[in-house]
Structure 1
Amino acid sequence: MKPTNILSAYQGINAINNAGIRTAKEIKETLKLSKSEANVLEQFCITLKSHQHSFEIFDGYYVGYSIKQISKEFDLLRFSEDLVINIELKSQLDEKVKLQKITAQMKQNHYYLKFLNRSVFIYTYVENDALYKYDADNDQPQAISIDELITNLINQSVDLEVNPDKLFVPSNYLISPFNKLKEFIDDEYFLTDNQQNIKKEVVTSVQQNKHKIFCILANAGTGKTLLVYDIAKNIMSYGHYPLIIHCGKLNNGHYELINSYNWNLHPINKVHNNSIETLLNMNISMVLIDESQRIRQHQLEMIINKSKEFKTPIVFSYDKKQYLKTGEAKDIYEYITARHPDIAVYKKTLTNKIRTNKEMASFIINLTDIGKSNNFLNYESITIEYFEELDDIKTYIQYLEQCRGWKPITYTNSQYTHEPLDNLASISHTKAHDVIGQEFDKVVFVMDDNFSYNEKGRLTARKNYYSAEGMLYQIVTRVVSQLKIIVLNNPRLYYRLLQIKSLDKS
């Protein structure tokens, strides 16, 4: 993506529309602006022209730029070495909500732009109204003259070679309630529209004291855990008392929420016949269960029956693909509708495009089934390495963790019997069961002769107490930016992984 001239941007779109040309989807994505947005941009350019005829102020803009993995979009961005100028374009707004809408967007844009280590100027042009500049210190927009903007545009030494994809680091924005707890507590994050709509429905059910069950189904990386914990935090701010259940081992972030912020949060193994009366009582305003695909049937029944008794709404958040033991994953929505038809159950889905690294998601698909994904085949963020000795791998991983910021994750083995995964389980103290619901910028893990590909190119694994395929999927879906696979003494597997890595060249 390269910067463009905004006169060209709107005139090109208008030309295609006026010629009556039906625009293919891929061309629309290239043009970046809708017809209505192009009309507002035209009015903005006319306003600039009426005050200043220097052509340079129309040049050097990224139009409709979206941050990778976030899908956060900016109408106009213009970069120099020490300054980024953001201009948002709005059709005429209702006076009653105008300032509220402008402020909310400006605040969000400032949050994303402040990580670029540049001064940030944010403007909003409202059609047939005025130009506003964001005052970040006071979190409010101020109406200004167009001349002030023009002066800043003229004085900006535009960098036409800047690549915004390299400036915006997705890990700055992908907040985990556990790995970035301070940012989570301080509300330094934003939910997508999809997440906000689900949140609104769930919170309303608490406020109206209605007995509903919400099943939030989502793939890894779509922000389901953030949404669940944001809902819990939100209803607590209104004096409600939710019960949060994590279907896995608690991590350090969980314990800090419990000990420092008094969250009523428990691991799923605390839910049993002797505890259910204490955990779920009439004082609980909502139950939120994360990673609920791993819940056992008798625990699920206890919670549902208690929620019926007290008319307590429940939120189940789950991903059927994430299982650690064969037969563990279940579709909660299908189960409840079949077994409890008297309960109002609502199925909500988080879309993939929110937080997912598209290239990484494509690689994970091909890792489990070679050639299944033909899109987003640029696998520069994935590295494949090979070692013949386990001791060398252990030393290397220790170096990567201590000196290079990588997070090693390995497989959980049985505590009672010897099994094929025992060697790999000794590589790191962090196991697949320890990282449920967490995300890490750089993840490294090891594959050995436990894994192979069949004649159809599908990944298979030896039988262990816990599913090796399920744990591998859990490991690779914890990554945000970079993934490193180390192969131990398995040349055929190494070759197949190199084939996947090279799919973009074939």
Structure 2
Amino acid sequence: MKAISVYALTREQNIHHLQKLERQLSERDYFLKIKEWELNSMKGLVKQLEGHMKEVYALRFFYSFQIPKLGKEFDLLQIKEDQILNLELKSGIVSDEAIRKQLIQNRYYLSVLGRTIRSYTYISSQNRLVRLTNHDHIVEADWEQLCQDLQQESADYNGDVEDLFQAELYLISPITEPGRFLRKEYFLTSQQRDIERQILKGIRQKHTGYYWFIGLPGTGKTLLLYDLSMKLSGHQKVCLIHCGRAGKEWRILHERLRRIDYLSDEQIHENMDLSEYNGVLIDEAHLLSEENLQMILQACGQQPVIFSSDCEDMISPEELDRSTVKAMRHLPEMQTYHLTNRIRTNAELSSFIQNMMHLPKQHYTRNYPHITVFYANDEIEAENLLCDARRQGYFYPQDEIPDHGIDCLVVQLDSRYYYDEQQFLRSTKTKRSEQSDVRKLFHQLNQAKESLILVIKENPAVYETLLDLLQ
């Protein structure tokens, strides 16, 4: 999406012609539905600017830009080499506090570019211009100052604005980035905020209930769960239960957040009592055994319970123990929500992993430049290929997880893996008492952010299938 002339956009013309003009100028891949009030506010803005500066027609703004996947939208952005000016448009009267919150949030998203940020809001019905100060106050602004900021001498950014704002920069993990979480250096996406509002509203009204949000890895479920736990622990303690994860990974949060008590699924027992808590939140609930689920529900009494779980639809049903999920689905008045925007996960890796778990019925012309498949004829060759990958900085699941998470991952698949008649990836050596090898592999692969190496040992059939998938 390219920057456009708001002067050209605000010339009197048919609204349908205007939408065609906007698409032509911005190179947007769809027609933007321009709101009448927003257009009138822009016209008022341009008229004011014309009274205070020459060559208003030369100004270029990114209009109605939304950061992909996050749902974060900006009305007008002027982006220069060393400055960003954000100008929000309002038609009716808005409180200074609402304006302040919006501009502070906008500044957070813009700060990743490391440039000076100027933040303004124009309320057309009042012909009022305000700005956000460096001390986070809203003050009246004068037009001369705005015009001076707009005419700052550095060059305009002429590229695609989406290249500057990558959603992955904003989604943090409370587990791997506890410092940023504790400093509240994050905002929820619009979808996360909507789900959180509905859950908190239900708890306020009923003081009980079951709530469950589901999504693929990378949709921000853990961040949403932690944010909910922070809000629920304002006046009374909550309990957060982690499933399938070593306690040391959330030790820092445990030490700092005194109103949140932590348990691992290994600490669940028959005589536990969770009724004292304001709520019980369960991370990675899909990894719970049905027995542990029943003990938790018994221990909670009437307290609200919030579940977060991965979607595992692309894994063979035979590789999953679905009894826990079925039991959760049949809890009385269960409120279920689906997170759909994959934020932290690389789209290329995500596509490959899903297709690898369940081969597509038709061949897709998708390139996978960041995925490599090697073949090893024996243990020595496999070890050499793994050593080479680790030398290049790839993380191997037996290593200790780095603090910043996993950028590059290498995994090994041996002869136990195969594809069944329905084209699901399967494993021959899974014990009923243990989590499936395929399931563990799926969750391992989804930890990678940038690239994958698969070392296939003594399994030519799977090697050939994955090679074909990469073509």
TM-score range, shorter chain: 0.7 to 0.9
Please give the residue correspondences for 1:216-365 in structure 2 after superposition, counting only pairs within 5 Å: 216-236=213-233, 238-262=234-258, 263-274=260-271, 276-277=272-273, 280-281=274-275, 283-308=276-301, 311-321=302-312, 326-329=319-322, 332=325, 335-336=327-328, 338=330, 343-352=332-341, 357-365=346-354
Mapped contact 1:71–1:354 kept (Cα < 8 A): no
Instruction: Tell me which residue corresponds to 1:483.
Output: 451
What amino acid does structure 2 have at the position aligned with 1:40? Answer: S
Distance apart, 1:18 and its partner CA:
7.9
Question: What TM-score does the superposition give when structure 2 sets the normalisation length?
Answer: 0.83
What amino acid does structure 2 have at the position aligned with 1:383? Answer: I
Change in Cα spacing, 1:494 to 1:121, as seen in structure 2 (3 Å) is farther
Instruction: Tell me which residue corresponds to 1:445.
Output: 410
Instruction: Tell me which residue corresponds to 1:51.
Output: 52
Distance apart, 1:14 and its partner CA:
4.8
Report Cα offsets for 1:406-434 as digits up to 9, x if no partner: 5x243xxxxxxxxxxxxxxxxx335xxx8
Mapped contact 1:366–1:372 kept (Cα < 8 A): no
2:100 maps to which of 96, 100, 103: 103
RMSD: 3.6
Identity %: 25
Distance apart, 1:252 and its partner CA:
3.2
What amino acid does structure 2 have at the position aligned with 1:364? Answer: I
Q: Please give the secondary structure, in 2, of the residue aligned with 1:347.
A: strand
Q: Please give the secondary structure, in 1, of the residue aligned with 2:42.
A: helix
**Partners of 1:266 and 1:99 in 2: how far apart?**
42
What amino acid does structure 2 have at the position aligned with 1:250? Answer: A
Report Cα offsets for 1:426-484 as digits up to 9, x if no partner: xx335xxx89xx9835131234454556788x45243232433322321232234x122
**Partners of 1:108 and 1:124 in 2: how far apart?**
13
Change in Cα spacing, 1:187 to 1:484, as seen in structure 2 (3 Å) is same
Question: What TM-score does the superposition give when structure 1 sets the normalisation length?
Answer: 0.77
Change in Cα spacing, 1:255 to 1:143, as seen in structure 2 (3 Å) is same
**Partners of 1:144 and 1:16 in 2: how far apart?**
34
Q: Please give the secondary structure, in 2, of the residue aligned with 1:100.
A: helix
**Partners of 2:410 and 2:117 in 1: how far apart?**
39
Instruction: Tell me which residue corresponds to 1:191.
Output: 188
Does 1:463 pair with 2:418? no
Report Cα offsets for 1:26-76 as digits up to 9, x if no partner: x986344532333433332233233334045422x2222233343322222
Change in Cα spacing, 1:449 to 1:329, as seen in structure 2 (3 Å) is same
Change in Cα spacing, 1:142 to 1:329, as seen in structure 2 (3 Å) is farther
Instruction: Tell me which residue corresponds to 2:132.
Output: 134
Mapped contact 2:19–2:32 kept (Cα < 8 A): no
Q: Please give the secondary structure, in 1, of the residue aligned with 2:103.
A: helix
Mapped contact 2:290–2:323 kept (Cα < 8 A): no
Please give the residue correspondences for 1:357-376 in structure 2 after superposition, counting only pairs within 5 Å: 357-371=346-360
Mapped contact 1:70–1:355 kept (Cα < 8 A): no
What amino acid does structure 2 have at the position aligned with 1:464? Answer: K
Change in Cα spacing, 1:133 to 1:497, as seen in structure 2 (3 Å) is farther
Instruction: Tell me which residue corresponds to 1:472.
Output: 441
Instruction: Tell me which residue corresponds to 1:147.
Output: 144
Distance apart, 1:319 and its partner CA:
2.1
Mapped contact 1:33–1:64 kept (Cα < 8 A): no
Q: Please give the secondary structure, in 2, of the residue aligned with 1:215.
A: strand
Q: Please give the secondary structure, in 2, of the residue aligned with 1:239.
A: coil
Mapped contact 1:68–1:357 kept (Cα < 8 A): no
Does 1:41 pair with 2:42? yes
Distance apart, 1:265 and its partner CA:
0.4
Q: Please give the secondary structure, in 2, of the residue aligned with 1:142.
A: strand
Distance apart, 1:364 and its partner CA:
3.1
Please give the residue correspondences for 1:400-415 in structure 2 after superposition, counting only pairs within 5 Å: 400-401=392-393, 406=394, 408-410=395-397
Please give the residue correspondences for 1:376-395 in structure 2 after superposition, counting only pairs within 5 Å: 377=366, 379=368, 382-386=370-374, 388=376, 389-395=381-387
Q: Please give the secondary structure, in 2, of the residue aligned with 1:3.
A: coil
Mapped contact 2:238–2:278 kept (Cα < 8 A): yes
Please give the residue correspondences for 1:62-77 in structure 2 after superposition, counting only pairs within 5 Å: 62-77=62-77
Mapped contact 1:445–1:486 kept (Cα < 8 A): yes
Mapped contact 1:439–1:479 kept (Cα < 8 A): no
Report Cα offsets for 1:127-149 as digits up to 9, x if no partner: 223222221x3212222122222
Matched pairs, number: 452
**Partners of 1:35 and 1:216 in 2: how far apart?**
33
Instruction: Tell me which residue corresponds to 1:85.
Output: 85
